[in-house]
Structure formats: structure tokens, C-alpha cells
Structure 1
């Protein structure tokens, strides 16, 4: 008995391709006609027949569309065909109520957008075509409003080796990337996502099937079997414009997905939605000539416990702080370990560097306006060694070079960074220390912090 390992049988066998159609926009509908007979990987004579005989006793198909394709390619194999739906799709559908738990595993709050990048393997994959895309997303999406995660095909992990993958994505990991391991967790990551950027791999197809707004960063149409679920995805999904700002493209993808954009993709993925476990169990027990159990088959949701992405704490930020009036400031952060494209934020805004004391890049911590420390023991040495540093923060305090401790009682480093950046922006704008409000509101992402500024006691001058 054989089963497909992806979202049905969707790719043509290599070495037998139609001409490249280019990166057309899906709304044009200008597809070149088929030329000649194309063999589909896994559903053609070369895969099913040896010495004139059909080898498998059962060929499991997820959709009737594949049955018709098998009838054209290998009609003598129809007696072995079993249309049994898609168990992966059914489990993902059953797991949808656990979405918030999966998001928690990615450390994503309810008000954050989870952007999942999915890449299959090979030169036409997302990473093969645009290896800088993940770092650009991390560099340009405000970190307190976005989580970026990545799912890479196991062939990518183990063709190059996990150490090489971690080396290539080292800057991205230092910038907060959630890297999903190759064995398990990708279904949970898809369900946690608000937007998926992918290619012609199965993960991208499943994302569209479960209704996630999906953008295609690479899609070689010449490799995709006509009439398949992935072919329909290529016809309907919006292409990512690598030169344009990302958030407006996300908004457009979200709006289109809400209209039922991928309904037909889902319909072509399975002919038996919700019933694959029953059909497969019936086929397996029949294969073994054993009586099938009378109880209903299980369709277990995916566990959140196995979604264990690799990640590192961000230790360097570009920060912009904007004051609205005299009592409210808004702080935005982008990771500094990755580089944004020209003409895109944070390159286009007034910003400063906030860097952890032990960051490995000297070019970053040597130019930091704000330095993060574990405690206050190293404050004097930090100011002495770093002339560009105006403020030092810990998880509880903000210390000014000349004024000493100016904010106390904060709950974590993020709050300290937000407060220090607001003060830095105030002073950098030419406003005086004495004009700073005694109390203010600092917003960062979906959080707001009430700040009370400490006023160092200055004894009266003698008369």
C-alpha cells in the first residue's frame, strides 16, 4: 500500500516539464497550454509498474481528481485505487480550537501577527529563490507587533545539515526567529499563523486549505500538475512583491482570504473531509484481512507540547520613540542583527541603538545609545568605556549618564528599554530635562507603561 507524503499528488516528474510560464500574476489567467503527456510524480507508469505488472496492492488517493488522473496514466492500476481523503487536513481541522495554545508556544500574544515562512527544498524553493526574505521580514516588521516563524522542508535540513541551517539563519535567530524543527510542529505553526508566505511545498498548500491568508514567494508553475490542489493555489494566491512593503501585502492577503479565496483549493485537497481516518482504517484492516473495530476511529488534535521552536533572546534593537504631546510616547523596535532593505523602515525613521552589554557584534554595542545590563554593578564602567551611551537599563531601572537612576520599579527589560528610549528621544529632540513630565504613558506594542520619573535631589545653591 502506498500513500502520498504531501498534499496529494501535485508535481510532475523531473526531466519532463512544460516551458516556464514566468512569474505571472494569478488574476491574469494567462496559462500556457499543456504540451505533450506529462507524468505525475507517484501516479505514473514509471512509479507503479514493473515488468508489466502493477506493484502496489493499494494506491491511496486523497481526491477523486487523482483517480481520474490515474485512469488516464495507468488504467490497470484502478483496481488498486483507494480514495481515502487526507488525514493531515482532518487533524488540522480538528486542531483549530487549540490555535491560542499553539500561538503561546511561539510566544505570540493575541494582538501580535504571526508570520510563518514555509520553504520546500531545491533551487526553486522560497529559500532557493530568495534566501534573504526571512531576514528582511525580521528587520522590517516591528518586533512588538509581529512574530516571524519558519518551517523548512526536512530535505533542506538534512541535505545541508542542521549546523549549516543554523549558521545560515544565525542572524535571524539572534533577531527573534522561531525556527520550527524538521520532525514535528509545522502543523501547529500553520494553525498559529495569521499570514503564511510560502512556495509550492505541501505546507503552503495546507495553510491555504485551512484558510490562512497565503502569499507565494516562489511558484514554478511548470512543475505543478494541472488540476491539482496546488495548481489551484497557484491560480488564486497573491504573489509576494519582494520590492514592496510587507504589511500592506499582508492586509491584502487577509482581506482576500476572508472572501473564501481558497475554497476550491480545500475542495481539491480531499474528497472525504473529516472522514479520512474511517476510510484509511477500513482499507488497512481489509488489507490485513482482519475485522475492523466497532468503535469510531480517533482523530487526535496535534499536541502543543511538540511545538518547540529554536529561538534566541534579541540582544540588539533599532528603536524609534515618538512623543504625542507632553505625556505620551510610542516606542517601536526592530531587531538590529538583520538588515532592512533600502527605503524601508527602520532605515527611513529617526532611530537609535539599544544593545545588550555582551552582544558579540562590536559595531552594534560600540554605537549604542542605550545599553542593557544584568544589574547596576557595571554602570560606571559602561558609561566610561562607551561615550555614545546616554542611558543604561536593567530589568528594573533606567540610569541616565548625568542624572543617575531616573526610573525604578519596572517589571522587565522591555519596559526599561521603552522608558529609556522615550527619554532619549525627548532629549534628542532638544527638549530639556526639566521639561520632562513627572509622570507619563509609554506604549510599546500592545502594552502601556505608567512611568514616574525620579527627580534627583539638588541642594540649593548658597546665597
Structure 2
């Protein structure tokens, strides 16, 4: 039986997670064979282990240019111009939030010509999340505009579909009735909130009274890849000893975010997705020089309260809960996607159109997220959490 060959190009763990969301739309189709490859990337050291856990067929990158495929999927541009296949590219996070301000690569990440037309190659399609992205794309790289397809955002749709399971996720994390979960979120880079964790972590450990609060850390996989898991865990060792949950880079962070009562974040995608959950937000970092000024991250930075170094942390968390109004963030949430709930349908249609075969005869509805693993237990001698 001849099968169509689909190649998933996994540069980093973050890119790989986004592609797995998309590849799930091809499940159960015996007409297709999915294989993976891992091009060289500065933050790609953890990719071989990530792919090994999948049990996937992994093609050596140096062999890929000598092969042909019926479809290739990529969430990043490096090396994809060498692939012999119709290529669909997609963003690996929410919208186009970050900008590069120096050097030859200056511009909004994801909207630069080298991102959209890698090596000068025209892909088969460029998937975007929102109609407003078309305006930005036309300004940044007008020759690529005709390739753009508004498909929506898979993370938005999975989080939204899973919100009714919040209580189940909290039970899975081991939270007691009435406990407040504070989730500290960081993107990567010198100006991320991780760059301020040396000041924030002692406050999370020392100022949040037990057993009323639990804390979890969501650190971008690029931080783990860039510094190495040993180093990151060394920096966070005191947190683990004190019962703070450290979500590993391979884990699904979305259910943890849904379970949060408060989110301390920055200008990254995870913080923006946090606006979907109803949890009040406190920004530990919002560097103007790294934020696309026309993005929803810029609007969030202008609206959300900022973490103060001088006021007690508990008072600040109580304050954001008092002043937070979920409806006031509706405009920010609406900028994540202009196709809410329709990513699976739109993306599957696009892929099968490129493949040249008919879609399966069933609705590709977003599935609820799996339950998270329990948070780390309390440190020895401090007692288990109780109501």
C-alpha cells in the first residue's frame, strides 16, 4: 500500500510540542506515514530525547535533503529550504510577540523575511492565528501575503475546551480544598522573568504562607536547553527542597496553567495564554525593547499590574485578585485568534488539500488536556498541605 509521507521538522522541544498538536489531526489515517527530523539548532539539544520518548521514526538531518515527501510541517525556518516537499510553516507560540532590536536579524520574530521565506523559498502555505496577522505580514514581507492561511491557534482551543476540568486538574496536582496555586511563568532571554528569579524565588519560598499557598514554576524549554537541565535544576534546587513544583520542559504546562489561582508572568506566550484561564495576572517582567508594540503582549503589559520589589508578595497577590476583572481582558484574549475553536478544522483542511487526498469523515474537535502530574510534596519536616 502506497502511503503519503509527512515530515515533521523539529528544531526545538517548543517547536516539537506545537507540531505534535498539529500531527494529532492526522491520527488514525492509514494512508499517511509520519516521520521526524531534527535540524541543528542552538536550543535543540533536548530534541533527540523528546523524539525518543515518542517512539517515532527519526531521519538523520543530513539524509533529508536527498529524500522527497508529500508534506512537510515546520514551526521554525532553519534549514527548511533544503527539504523536497510542499511546506507548511506555522508560529510556535502565541501571535508574534517578540522583536529583535539589533543586528542583521532585527525585526519581529516570525515576521522577518528570513522567517517567512527561508532561503528565499516560497512555502506552500504560512499558517497564522489571526486576521490581523495578515496586515502585519503584508507590511513585513508583502511577497508572502498570498501564501498566508488564517487557521487559528491550537493552544487557545485546547485550553478553552479544557477549562471545565479545572477542578480535576487541581485534584491531580494534589491541591487541597481552599489552597491557592501560584504559577510563576517565564519565557527565555535576558529580559525574561527567569532573569529575575534570583529575586523572585526567595519571595515565593519565604513570603507565601503554608499551607494556604502552593507554587509551580513554568520555565521555557529554551532556558533548559540553553543552560542545561543540570544547571537549571541546580539553580532551582532550593525550590524543590521547599516543595515548589518545577514543571519539566517535556511536560504539558497547559493544565497547570488552568489550575492556577494567580499567575506571575512576563511577555511570553504562556503568560498571554494565561488570560484565557480567569486567573489574575501579575507581571514580573515586561521589557518594552523585546515586545512587538502592535502585539497583544504590549497591550497586556500596559494593563496588567506589575510586581513591586518593596510590597509584601501576599498583599500584591490579594490586590490583583481584588482589581482583576475577567471581562477587561476580553480584548486581549480576542487577539490570540480570530478563529476560536476552529483550528483543528481549518488546519486539517489545509494539510489534506496540500496532500491532495480527502479528509477523514469525522469532526476534528479539540480534546481536553490530560491531567498534570502531582506537584512536589512538602519538604521533610514541614508537613503535608491541609485545608
For the aligned pair, the TM-score class normalised by the smaller chain equals 0.7 to 0.9
Structure showing the higher helix proportion among its residues: 2
1:315 aligned onto 2:369 = no
Which residue does 1:150 correspond to in 2? 217
1:270 aligned onto 2:357 = no
Which residue does 1:110 correspond to in 2? 177
| 2:186/2:193 contact within 8 Å kept | yes
**Secondary structure at 1:149 match in 2:** strand
Distance 2:135 2:350 in 1: 20
Q: CA deviation at 1:10?
A: 1.4
CA RMSD of superposed structures (Å) = 2.1
Bigger mean CA offset, 211-220 vs 128-137: 128-137
Gaps of 5+ in 1: 18-36, 318-412, 415-443, 447-463
**Secondary structure at 2:230 match in 1:** helix
Distance 1:72 1:157 in 2: 34
Which residue does 1:344 correspond to in 2? none
Q: How does 1:46-61 map to 2 (within 5 A)?
A: 46-49=114-117, 53-61=120-128
Q: CA deviation at 1:14?
A: 4.4
Which residue does 1:287 correspond to in 2? 354
Q: CA deviation at 1:278?
A: 0.8
Which residue does 1:189 correspond to in 2? 256
Gaps of 5+ in 2: 1-87
| 1:114/1:192 contact within 8 Å kept | yes
Structure 1 residues 211 and 176: CA distance shift in structure 2, 3 A: same
Structure 1 residues 151 and 184: CA distance shift in structure 2, 3 A: same
Query: Is the radius of gyration larger for structure 1 or structure 2?
Result: 1
Which residue does 1:140 correspond to in 2? 207
| 1:123/1:129 contact within 8 Å kept | no
Q: How does 1:131-280 map to 2 (within 5 A)?
A: 131-280=198-347
Q: How does 1:429-444 map to 2 (within 5 A)?
A: none
| 2:291/2:297 contact within 8 Å kept | yes
Alignment deviations for residues 84-137 of structure 1 (CA, whole Å, 9 cap, x no partner): 111111000111111112112221123011000011112111121242312311
Match of 1:44 among 93, 96, 112: 112
Structure 1 residues 50 and 161: CA distance shift in structure 2, 3 A: closer
**Secondary structure at 1:189 match in 2:** helix
Name segments (4+ residues, structure 1) moved above 6 Å: none
Distance 2:203 2:238 in 1: 11
| 1:236/1:261 contact within 8 Å kept | no
Structure 1 residues 178 and 153: CA distance shift in structure 2, 3 A: same
Alignment deviations for residues 246-273 of structure 1 (CA, whole Å, 9 cap, x no partner): 1221122223333523111101100011
Structure 1 residues 117 and 50: CA distance shift in structure 2, 3 A: closer
Q: CA deviation at 1:54?
A: 4.6
Normalising by structure 2, what TM-score? 0.73
**Secondary structure at 1:239 match in 2:** coil
Bigger mean CA offset, 79-88 vs 37-46: 37-46
Match of 1:8 among 71, 76, 95: 95
Q: CA deviation at 1:199?
A: 0.9
| 1:121/1:155 contact within 8 Å kept | yes
Q: How does 1:356-367 map to 2 (within 5 A)?
A: none
| 1:213/1:254 contact within 8 Å kept | yes
Q: CA deviation at 1:197?
A: 0.2
| 1:176/1:311 contact within 8 Å kept | yes
Distance 1:150 1:264 in 2: 27
Higher relative contact order (CA 8 A, sep 6+): 2
Normalising by structure 1, what TM-score? 0.61
Match of 2:146 among 66, 70, 79: 79
| 1:209/1:269 contact within 8 Å kept | no
Which residue does 1:121 correspond to in 2? 188
**Secondary structure at 1:118 match in 2:** strand
Distance 2:122 2:117 in 1: 6
Alignment deviations for residues 375-424 of structure 1 (CA, whole Å, 9 cap, x no partner): xxxxxxxxxxxxxxxxxxxxxxxxxxxxxxxxxxxxxx66xxxxxxxxxx
Which residue does 2:70 correspond to in 1? none
Distance 2:357 2:302 in 1: 44
Distance 1:197 1:50 in 2: 35
Q: CA deviation at 1:227?
A: 2.0
Q: CA deviation at 1:143?
A: 1.3
